[in-house]
Amino acid sequence: GNHKASHGSLYNGSKSKAVAVLGWGLMGQSAILDEAVEEMVNDGITVIIAAGNENADACSYSPYSSLAITVAAADDSLTGSHARSPFSNYGSCIDLFAPGSTITGASNVGTDGSVQAQGTSTAAGMAAGVATLYLSELSQEYPGDKKQGPT
């Protein structure tokens, strides 16, 4: 669309190995937001989307694009079987599950502080780390290739 010209100088339609994490969502759907995600992928950015924490069908929420990677949260502390976290959205729009419950992370409290986090944003961050490593070290693939898997 016309808005592509406004950021064309940044990406210039070339392939890149950039990764963006969208760890927020809307209650409902937004065609404009979903189109923006698709444009990001088309501009060469691998987009990782948090599925949402409403225990509902992820296909009912934005942002979403079939070209992006939508991540739900898994919780192995419940059953030891890496089950879906009870709060995580689900459905056919989910591409993969990543750890998203009781994740220990760094805190800004003291020099050795930690915090427990949970949510699909946490899971999306984990998936983004793997995608970044894969794209930077192991692959000649680009965002539009992500559903085919490693070559």
pLDDT in tens, 13-66: 445 678 999 988 778 899 999 999 999 998 889 999 999 999 999 999 999 999
> DSSP states of 18-76 as a string?
EEEEE----SS--HHHHHHHHHHHHTTEEEEEE--SSSSBGGGSSS--TTSEEEEEEEH
Cβ 70 vs Cβ 139: under 8 Å = no
Which residues, in sequence order, are CB contacts of 150 under 8 Å at separation 6+?
A: 134, 138, 139, 141
64 closest CA partner among 85, 97, 92, 105? 92
Residue type, 74: A
pLDDT tens track for 80-103: 667 899 999 999 999 999 998 888
